[in-house]
Amino acid sequence: MKKITNFFIFYILTNILFFSFSASTYGKVVSNKIVLGAAISLSGKHSLSGEQTKNGYDFAIKKINEMGGVKVGGKTYQLEIQYYDDESNSLKAIALAGRLIQHEGIEFLLGTSNLNSSIAVAEEIKKFSVPMIDINTFSKSLLDKHNKFFFTISGNGEENLNLVIDLLSKQNQNSSIAIITEQDNLFQDIKSSLLNKINDYNFNLILDEVLPGDLNDLKEIIKKTQTLNPDLLIILANTDYNKKVLEELASSKTDIPMVITDECVTDKDFQQENINSLTDYIICSSEWHKSLNYQDDIFVNPNNYAKLFEDNYNFEPSTKAVKSSAAVLLYKNVLERADSFDKDKIQDALRNTDLITFFGPIKFNKEGSNIYNQNLLLQSQEKKNKIIFPEKFADGELIFPMPKWTDR
């Protein structure tokens, strides 16, 4: 009886060790499913970004599974994703990433839906040596150069708006510029890069203001802007701030020849009655447009991706949704190239990525950032975002100066 009892104890301990080793080494694979994990903002102030991110992840997983799934080790698997809501709280995002890894056994992570949470979660995945493919735009100063498991498909974000200075120089060689900036590390980095570019052209910076903490307290800054009458207003802020600034410009009838924001509105936004009047002729920075000419085996090309996405959701994708789908597509590619669920092999395959997707090319530098930075300037024209710069990608022409508010 004692021998039988010892045998069962040994059997149980062996299986515990085996499954513990499997979970820590091979991620979460259940039957014919590969489970990815993501902590995103499904509620709170970043919930719009969270919704866009989830739509992109879900759509790519659906399409990949419909087209045969992922092939690893001679077997075909379906993709699945486990979500947790970080409630737009970066501290909660850290805890949830740890929970996905430690309690759910998920070791293939997708990025969060906002930059601050991604910065926080990057530390957590480094601690557990777990790979994560992120979608947010970082500047050089915000990337952890020692985190070999973190990869972002966006390029260097601090230079994204520099193109607008080049564009302005083609219209007016003696331009004046106003910048209003949210107190955010990324936006401060973008502003520093812009200031260098402005200096290169000897343009006149006539206003450099930080946005107030209260979204409703913008009147003084807009009044200053109106008095100084710049040729270009640059708004460096997140979605809610962008909308508030544009609302204040409209209500005060402040006429500025050129206005640019760091974030483009989506076709879904254009469906809202009050948005179109605010965004008419506004320029924005983007990493993607459906008219670009890239191809892959799943989504074929950007225009086809946009059409399929619209068929599924009844609106065209935001750039955030596009990048989210590209991140899932990259996981498929990486898993198949590694031909393994070993996280170290996955990390090596990520490091050696050189891939063309419907989003664009993806290849990582030693910091884990995509070396291909697709900077585009779009302008809102007749409820559509048209590429107006650089000229080689353009599918529309710049309208400059913007019509006066009283003429619209």
pLDDT of residue 227: 95
Tokens describing residue 9: 């104890």
Domains observed in the chain: 8-156+292-363 (3.40.50.2300), 159-286+375-407 (3.40.50.2300)
From first to last of the 408 residues of the chain, give the pLDDT tens digit.
444 444 333 333 334 333 333 333 345 888 899 999 999 999 998 898 899 999 999 999 999 999 999 999 999 999 999 999 999 999 999 999 999 999 999 999 999 999 999 999 999 999 999 999 999 988 888 888 889 999 999 988 888 899 999 999 999 889 999 999 998 889 999 999 999 999 999 999 999 999 887 766 789 999 999 999 999 999 998 877 888 898 899 889 999 999 999 888 765 554 555 555 778 899 999 999 999 999 999 999 999 999 999 999 998 899 999 999 999 999 999 999 999 999 899 999 999 999 999 999 999 999 999 999 888 999 999 888 899 999 999 999 999 999 988 887
What are the angstrom distances between the C-alpha of 283 and each of 89, 136, 228, 286?
30, 21, 20, 10
CB neighbours of residue 68 within 10 Å:
11
Sheet holding 376-381, edge to edge: 204-210, 176-181, 232-236, 258-261, 283-286, 376-381, 384-389
What are the angstrom distances between the C-alpha of 406 and each of 92, 250, 283?
47, 10, 20
- Mapping DSSP to helix (H, G, I), strand (E, B) and coil, where does residue 290 land? coil
Using an 8 Å Cβ cutoff, are 180 and 211 in contact? yes
Residues 132-158: pLDDT tens digits? Answer: 999 998 888 888 888 999 999 998 888
Residues 300-358: pLDDT tens digits? Answer: 999 999 999 999 999 889 999 999 999 999 999 999 999 999 989 999 999 999 999 99
